Structure formats: structure tokens, C-alpha cells
Amino acid sequence: MTNLFEIRGTLSDRQNQLFSIVGVAFLLFMWQVITMIVPSPNTPTPMKVLTSFKELHFEDALVRNLGYSVKLNLLGYFKALAISLPLGFLIGMFPITKSLFNKPIDALRFIPLTAVTGLFIVWFGIENAMKVNFLAFGIIVYLLPIVIQRIGEVEPVYHQTVKTLGATRWQTIKEVYIPAVSAKLFDDIRVLVAISWTYIIVAELINKSGGIGALAYTSARQSRIDKVFAVLLVIVVVGFLQDLIMKKLDKLAFPYKYL
């Protein structure tokens, strides 16, 4: 039998599922206990949050707002990939481009993204184009350095082997670097998807035209904390489902990682 307290031990799939359910149930129980011990209008009970979904659905168009936010997130996400992957390979593959741009790209990570919203408004206006580009930029500043880093982590022995076999530069990139980098990068991309949800409320508050982030902000301004909690739960569930889908895609694309 597995020792549940073994350092860096492993659990079976059934045990993992069981303890995950127990963990969620424990958090809900503690939430209920806290609201009973310290009752406050700013800390709604789980039941009050649950019942607020009816109002959110029928009066606040929860589904439509969620669809709008998911669309913005996906557009920003795919635009970030379209820019980061080719640019990262271009910079990371060659010593001259890496030397020229690696430090400035690393410095981008220290830019406070909420402080550049004014620039994106000036450049792209206040419609969806601004919001998509802002979310894409929020992913690019983290993803681009990771692409370059993953290229540098490829073992030199693979490069030397295909070079000895007479592979061209393109064949080396295609047969060695793209497969090796993609396998690791997929996990990085899965983690970074959450970043766009982090900044969704910032983007949606500009010229509010819908979105679940704007709905959470409006609910907070109306002192409807139960609705804020409900919206946050929706975001968590959507993020969990996105993560689950990407894990399934990872297993299909790179089955050897799970042998």
C-alpha cells in the first residue's frame, strides 16, 4: 500500500481522484464554518453564492458574457502563439540574434502590464482589437523568453548527430529542434494560458461591452459580493476545463512523455 506521507511519493489515479474530491469538500466546509463564525455581508455563504447564479444567468447574461471573454482569451492566446513561436525560434537558434535581443526580451517581463493599457488604447482604439492585442502582449512577454530558453536546453549531442549525418540547416531545425522544443513548450503554454484570465478584467473595463471580468467588476461596485464569488468560480471552472483539454491534447501529441 502506498505510504501517503512519503516524501515525493506517488498516488494511484483512484487515490488522486478521491483526495481531490475530499480537498474540495474540505474547503467548502471551512468556507461555511468561517461564514457562520464571522458573519459578514462581504463574505457570502456557499449557498448564497450558488443561488446568485440564477440572477446572473437571467438578468446579467452570464453565458453571453462568458462567451465574449472566452473569445477574447482565445484570440489573444492564438495571436501570442503566432508571434512568439516563430520569433522565439528566429532569436534562439542563431547566436547573433540571441546576443542582440535576449536581454531586451528578458527585460519585458518586468513591465507592469496594467500600466501600458493607455498605450494600447492609443495604438488600437477602445474596441476588441485593443483588448485582444493587450491580452496577447500579456502572454508574449512571458512566452517569448521561454521559447528561447527551451531552444537553448536542447542537448548538443542531437545537433551534432544530425550534422554528422549531413543534415541541412532546415532539416536540423525540423527534425531536432522543433520536436524537442515543442514537447517541453506545450506544458509551458498550458501554464501561461492562465495569464490572459488574470488580465481579462483590465481589458474588459475599457469601453465595457461585455465580458465576465466586467461583470465581476460591476457586481463588486454594486456590493453584490455573492455574484463576484460566483463569477470567480465560473472563471476557475473554465480554466480547469481548458487545462484538462490541453493535458489531453498533450498526451495525444506527445504520448512518449507519459510512458
Residue 15 in contact with residue 6, Cβ under 8 Å?
no
Domain count, the chain: 2
d(CA 107, CA 148): 14
Say if residue 99 is in the same domain as residue 24: no
CA nearest to 93, candidates 143, 139, 147: 147
Say if residue 94 is in the same domain as residue 207: yes
Give this prediction's pTM: 0.83
d(CA 203, CA 213): 8
Residue 249 in contact with residue 187, Cβ under 8 Å?
no
**pLDDT tens for each residue of 103-117:** 888 888 888 888 888
Work out the mean pLDDT of the chain and round it to a whole number.
Answer: 86
**pLDDT tens for each residue of 15-42:** 788 888 888 899 989 988 888 888 777 7
CB atoms within 10 A of CB 82: 11
Angle formed at CA 132 by CA 149 and CA 70, multiple of 5 degrees: 95
Say if residue 119 is in the same domain as residue 229: yes
Say if residue 2 is in the same domain as residue 103: no
CA nearest to 72, candidates 187, 192, 202: 202
Say if residue 26 is in the same domain as residue 60: no
pLDDT at 126: 86
What domain range is 4 assigned to? 1-39
d(CA 208, CA 69): 12
pLDDT at 101: 87
CATH number for position 156? 1.10.3720.10
d(CA 225, CA 223): 6
CB atoms within 10 A of CB 159: 15
Residue 214 in contact with residue 208, Cβ under 8 Å?
yes
Say if residue 58 is in the same domain as residue 123: yes
Say if residue 148 is in the same domain as residue 241: yes
How far is CA 67 from each of CA 5, 129, 158, 212, 213, rounded to the nearest angstrom? Answer: 42, 17, 44, 8, 12
- The grid coordinates listed for 38 are 464571522
pLDDT at 68: 92
Say if residue 69 is in the same domain as residue 148: yes
* Bridge partners, residue 43, by sequence: 40
Say if residue 70 is in the same domain as residue 9: no
pLDDT at 229: 92
Residue 107 in contact with residue 163, Cβ under 8 Å?
no
Say if residue 167 is in the same domain as residue 96: yes
Say if residue 132 is in the same domain as residue 217: yes
Ranges in the chain, pLDDT < 70: 1-5, 7-8
d(CA 105, CA 97): 11
Say if residue 58 is in the same domain as residue 3: no
